[in-house]
Amino acid sequence: MLKRKPGPTLRAQWLGQQLRALRESTGMTLRQAGDYLQRDPSMVSRFETAEYPIRRGDVLALLDLYGVSEERTRDGLLQLSDDVWRKGWWDDYASVVGRRYIDLVWLESRAQRLCTYEAMLVPGLLQTREYAETLIRNAAARRCRTAQCRGPGATAAPRRARRFGGCILALRDARSLPRPGLRE
């Protein structure tokens, strides 16, 4: 059985869409962009569709070609081009939880602020490793019989809390708090 190649990451797709929008806004063709980069137009198309990740130097050249001079836009797209090639801690879990979930963790890592609502669980940023492992084990008991239960949630909470400066505001319903003398 042939092993299926994973599809493009959300990071690469996002960068490709931004570059395509810039090219189209200038009225340039794939051929013109390819000539400028000294590449085949099909390669520029592959960059834009995220079939092939684009190198930082090519991103810089395209930004110059498209006349993008605003520093914030340039820096954002260059950071994104670096992210396409950089492997984050969460990428080690792609075989366990799937590429789409990993893309969500990447998006969260770029967030400036997180707002979550958890009616039945301890919010993710407040979860301990043991709590997360118990949740995973209980939710996927059949699947975990032969495989070791692990996932980004089991180790992510401390990293995520540090990312947001360690400042966490949590509101809990008093009925969900343990009370002395009552069995849990």
Q: Tens of pLDDT along 86-136?
A: 777 667 777 777 777 777 777 777 777 777 777 777 777 677 888 888 877
pTM for the full model? 0.57
Burial call 13-40: b when 16+ CB within 10 Å, e when fewer: bbbbebbbebbeeeebebeebbebbebe
Q: How confident is the model at residue 23 (pLDDT cuts 50, 70, 90)?
A: very high
Amino acid at 42: S
